[in-house]
């Protein structure tokens, strides 16, 4: 936060604690002298614009409602602080308040412990009754993990976040927690393979059925909502590997009218490119393994939404036990500091690579939501700030021509996953669907000449030169 000059009549609000311990309040400069929720990194003295002596008096007299918060201090001084932008929150979000302080360390410490101690029975009882804020056992929470959850909450602008050991763990725990026995869910065709497997093989054991619709089929969605007792709509946006985008606002309106929740897997978008909660969704999940971590070195998952829903998922998580390790949470915190920078670069690189691939004679088709040729381009433009770092394309050739292109590149690694600093390339037929046979692959729309390219943060021109030299083998 930029320090501003002190002016006569300015006040400095040192913070109001109370509302779930993490929110501070700031005095707005409007004539009504309203209180606004500020972000937690304002836990350092919150600067407010000049306000009247009268307001200062009323604050001290306690006749301004503080939503249950406690007024800590109020002294003359300073100016208003702007609400931070998402890039600022990537760096500071979650890390300025309530975290453990060890030897004045700038970075959030790794609290590498499996359990937490109490001085005596009285302290334990105070903890049980919510009068003493601490932690109990590692499966139920950890200070490092908590800070990371706060950062992700702020990035998605949700009330609460739950981290877990992987994106799959987040998705399966969420489904188990929110869909009742005998319930029904709606998903979309282009779906992460293991999520589909869970829906098709595990959920039926609890008599939970599923309807699968095309991502843009609103008629099919309405019909399914009328026909079944739908608890939840769950889709990626953009999807893997065809980068289809679902219209989150329209879907949320339709689903909410039928009492169904909407959960969007926003892994491919990141909170930099898309804020599904703002668009109307109830929950957002991420495989934080991908862009959030960003360095191809951790597995993690996150779910964000209102406190009630995330609390329900957390209760299930406490039972199922897909706990994230505090060290992984710390690596995630570190990775997310550069999320804004990385995604900006990856957006730019992918857009340019997609454009150039579309012109390349050895490429039949490019799937990228930033291209006008993409079926969901209009939806993507409406709800996204950028189109992400993954480009899928179809080589003008068969399975083995495509394999030659994959084998001919030198910069990207051949590997599953995406979203890290290193570019990765893969042929979905071989890496994800090899065991499925041609019929199943055709059913999922996976064609043999499809390549999925995840742009890293290398130079765009180097990536392009490399792709070109490999594609040119087919000329």
Ligand X SMILES: *Cc1c(COP(=O)(O)O)cnc(C)c1O
Min CB(419)–ligand X separation in Å: 8
Q: How far apart are CA 246 and CA 186, in angstroms?
A: 13
Q: How far apart are CA 288 and CA 281, in angstroms?
A: 19
> How many other C-beta atoms lie within 10 A of the C-beta of residue 204?
11
- Residues 432, 434, 439: CA angle, nearest 5 degrees: 110
Q: Stretches 37-45, 49-57, 287-295, 450-458: which one binds ligand X (CB under 6 A)?
A: 287-295
| Binding residue (CB under 6 A) for ligand X from 12, 142, 235, 289 | 289
| 244 in contact with ligand X (CB under 6 A) | no
Min CB(190)–ligand X separation in Å: 10
Q: How far apart are CA 236 and CA 171, in angstroms?
A: 11
Q: How far apart are CA 452 and CA 72, in angstroms?
A: 54
Q: Which residues pair with 75 in a beta bridge?
A: 12
Alpha helices in 216-279 (DSSP H): 218-227, 248-257, 270-273, 276-279
Site string for ligand X, 209-238 (x = CB under 6 A): ---------------------------x--
Task: Spot the catalytic one: 139, 194, 196, 365.
Answer: 139
How many chain residues interact with ligand X (CB under 6 A)? 14
| Binding residue (CB under 6 A) for ligand X from 190, 265, 376, 426 | 265
Task: Spot the catalytic one: 290, 345, 441, 452.
Answer: 290
Residue 461 zone, left/alpha/beta (φ > 0; ψ -120 to 50; rest): alpha
Site string for ligand X, 53-72 (x = CB under 6 A): --------------------
| 298 in contact with ligand X (CB under 6 A) | no
Task: Spot the catalytic one: 16, 39, 192, 368.
Answer: 192
Q: How far apart are CA 287 and CA 270, in angstroms?
A: 10
| 276 in contact with ligand X (CB under 6 A) | no
Min CB(236)–ligand X separation in Å: 5
| 370 in contact with ligand X (CB under 6 A) | no
Is 139 annotated in the active site? Answer: yes
Q: How far apart are CA 44 and CA 14, in angstroms?
A: 7
| Residue number, nearest CB to ligand X | 167
86 with 54: CB under 8 angstroms?
no
Min CB(166)–ligand X separation in Å: 3
Is 140 annotated in the active site? Answer: no
Min CB(167)–ligand X separation in Å: 2
With helix as H, strand as E and coil as C, how does 132-190 read?
A: CCCCCEHHHCCHHHHHHHHHHHHHHCCCEEEEECCHHHHHHHHHHHHCCCCCEEEEECC
Which residue lies nearer to ligand X by CB, 289 or 423?
Answer: 289
| 192 in contact with ligand X (CB under 6 A) | yes
| 388 in contact with ligand X (CB under 6 A) | no
Is 444 annotated in the active site? Answer: no
Min CB(333)–ligand X separation in Å: 17
Is 47 annotated in the active site? Answer: no
> How many other C-beta atoms lie within 10 A of the C-beta of residue 461?
10
Tell me which residues touch ligand X (CB under 6 A): 166-168, 192, 236, 240, 265, 267-268, 287, 289-290, 299, 301
Would you name the residues annotated as active-site residues? 139, 192, 265, 290
């Amino acid at each position: 936060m930029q320090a501003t000059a002190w002016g006569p009549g300015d006040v400095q609000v040192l913070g109001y604690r109370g509302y779930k311990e993490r929110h501070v309040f700031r005095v707005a400069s409007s004539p009504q002298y309203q209180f606004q929720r500020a972000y937690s990194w304002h836990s350092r003295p919150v600067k407010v614009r000049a306000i009247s002596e009268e307001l200062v008096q009323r604050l001290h007299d306690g006749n301004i409602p503080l939503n249950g918060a406690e007024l800590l201090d109020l002294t003359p001084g300073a100016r208003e602080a702007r609400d931070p932008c998402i890039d600022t929150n990537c760096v500071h979000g979650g890390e300025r308040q309530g975290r453990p302080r060890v030897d004045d360390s700038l970075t959030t410490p790794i609290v590498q412990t499996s359990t937490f101690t109490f001085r005596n029975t009285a302290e334990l009882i105070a903890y049980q009754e919510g009068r003493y804020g601490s932690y109990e056992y590692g499966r139920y929470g950890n200070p490092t993990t908590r800070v990371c959850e706060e950062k992700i909450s702020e990035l998605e602008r949700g009330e609460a976040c739950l981290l877990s050991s992987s994106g799959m763990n987040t998705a399966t725990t969420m489904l188990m927690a929110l869909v009742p026995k005998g319930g029904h869910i709606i998903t979309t065709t282009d779906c992460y393979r293991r999520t589909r497997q869970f829906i098709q093989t595990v959920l039926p054991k609890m008599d939970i059925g599923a309807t699968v619709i095309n991502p843009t089929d609103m008629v099919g969605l309405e019909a399914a909502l009328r026909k079944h007792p739908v608890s939840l709509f769950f889709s990626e946006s953009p999807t893997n590997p065809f980068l289809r985008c679902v219209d989150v606002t329209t879907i949320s309106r339709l689903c909410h009218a039928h009492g169904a929740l909407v959960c969007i897997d926003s892994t491919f978008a990141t909170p930099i490119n898309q804020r599904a909660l703002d668009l109307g969704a109830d929950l957002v999940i991420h495989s934080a393994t991908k862009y959030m971590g960003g360095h191809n070195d951790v597995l993690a998952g996150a779910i964000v939404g209102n406190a009630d829903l995330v609390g329900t998922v957390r209760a299930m998580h406490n039972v199922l036990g897909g706990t994230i390790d505090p060290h992984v949470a710390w690596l995630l915190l570190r990775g997310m500091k550069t999320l804004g920078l990385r995604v900006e670069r990856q957006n730019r690189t992918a857009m340019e690579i997609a454009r150039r691939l579309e012109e390349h004679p050895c490429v039949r088709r490019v799937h990228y939501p930033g291209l006008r040729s993409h079926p969901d381009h209009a939806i993507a433009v409406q709800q996204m700030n950028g189109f992400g770092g993954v480009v899928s394309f179809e080589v003008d050739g068969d399975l083995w021509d495509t394999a030659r292109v994959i084998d001919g590149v030198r910069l990207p690694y051949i590997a599953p996953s995406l979203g890290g600093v290193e570019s990765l390339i893969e042929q979905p037929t071989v890496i994800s669907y090899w065991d499925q046979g041609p019929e199943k692959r055709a059913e999922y729309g996976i064609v043999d000449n499809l390549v999925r390219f995840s742009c890293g943060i290398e130079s765009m021109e180097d990536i392009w030169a490399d792709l070109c030299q490999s594609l040119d083998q087919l000329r």
